[in-house]
Structure 1
Amino acid sequence: MLAAPPDFLVLLNEYQPLLRRVCRLYCVDADDRQDLYQEIVTQLWQAWPRYQPRPDVKLSTWLYRVALNVAISDLRQRTRRPTSTHLDAAQLPNVPLPPADGPDTDDLHQLYRAINCLSDVDKAFVLLYLEERTYEEMADILGITQNNVRVKMHRVQEKLRQLLTQPA
């Protein structure tokens, strides 16, 4: 196995929270999130030698493109797989639970449940919005116009409002 160049390791360390947020948005299960994270890192590693920095495009834009493409492809593959039968908690041995990804409040769980009801593309908009990306950056990452970003963001926000105000 090849050793990673130092600049790639620095990049990975710096942008790990961003990559983990993409995983959290597209995977409910912790094991699936870890698998997706590994797949994103693998794809970044393979694409790294071909990455050409440009002064008009941020590195994070390239990372988002790779991460979102991998996440959406992974989600599509997972939805095509047959579902497995899960054991209920009484059938499982007493195994310690993995640590949480971060603060888990009821509001945060409710937000993630609502986001999970959105389409793959809409989830990408929410992620970029929560990352406080500008419409210009969103347009660049998603390959659409800024006007289209504005329209889609408005629609996604309306969908989330409706989902969050519906009784559970």
Structure 2
Amino acid sequence: MHDTQKIFLQQINENKGIIHKVAKMYMDNPLDQEDLFQEIVMQLWKAYPSFKGTSKFSTWMYRVALNTAIVFFKKDHRKVDKASLNEQIEIADFSDSHEKEEKLAYLYKAVQELNQIEKALIFLFLENQSHREIAQNLGITEVNARVKLNRTKEKLQQIIKKNGYEF
């Protein structure tokens, strides 16, 4: 195997959780999530020659994965099941792992009701990205990222309340 391929596959393996999370944010159905996962990996491979190493691989990966998800979502003409999924934005430490999984499922359902940019904002927020990092990943100003994120968190909380998923 070529060295470039080995390095790429190692990076993908070390950061595959990012791809899975993006796929869950944008697609409700597990088969669609898998399709999106594969599409993201393919786009990362195509774009890999342009990765200069001036930022961390994971930072570059966020940008490619989110852009791919947005394009994939726009191409996908199927209606997303709006059956609500959500949980509090700040994911607390739950003693019962079943309860934690259930609340995460609610969060993902609620996120399905957000638009593509809002999903990206929440995803990056849940990945503990700073306002500056969010702005860089989305190509917007830091102030704009902060404002949009606050509005998106408020919108997500309203979706959670509307659907009766408050805990």
TM-score, normalization: structure 1? 0.79
Distance in 2, matches of 1:53 and 1:3, equals 16
Distance in 1, matches of 2:28 and 2:110, equals 12
Deviation at 1:58, TM superposition (A): 2.7
- Write the deviation string for residues 75-99 of structure 1: whole angstroms up to 9, x where unpaired: 11112x6x7xxxxxxxxxxxxxxxx
Maintained 8 Å contact 1:61/1:140: no
Deviation at 1:107, TM superposition (A): 1.8
Aligned to 1:77: 75
Aligned to 1:86: none
Deviation at 1:167, TM superposition (A): 4.2
> Does 1:61 find its partner at 2:52?
no
Aligned to 2:143: 147
TM-score, normalization: structure 2? 0.80
Aligned to 2:115: 119
Aligned to 1:38: 38
Aligned to 1:50: 50
User: What residue ranges of structure 1 are gaps of 5+ in the alignment?
Assistant: 84-101
* Identity of matched residues, %: 39
Maintained 8 Å contact 2:28/2:109: no
Aligned to 1:17: 17
Structure exhibiting the larger radius of gyration computed from Cα positions: 1
Question: Closer, same or farther in 2 for the Cα pair 1:53/1:167, shift >3 Å?
Answer: closer
- Write the deviation string for residues 81-138 of structure 1: whole angstroms up to 9, x where unpaired: 6x7xxxxxxxxxxxxxxxxxx9673322221121111110000000001101111111
Of 132, 142, 145, the residue aligned with 1:136 is 132
Maintained 8 Å contact 1:39/1:70: yes
Deviation at 1:9, TM superposition (A): 1.1
CA RMSD of aligned residues (A): 2.0
Query: Aligned pairs, how many?
Result: 145
User: What residue ranges of structure 2 are gaps of 5+ in the alignment?
Assistant: 80-96
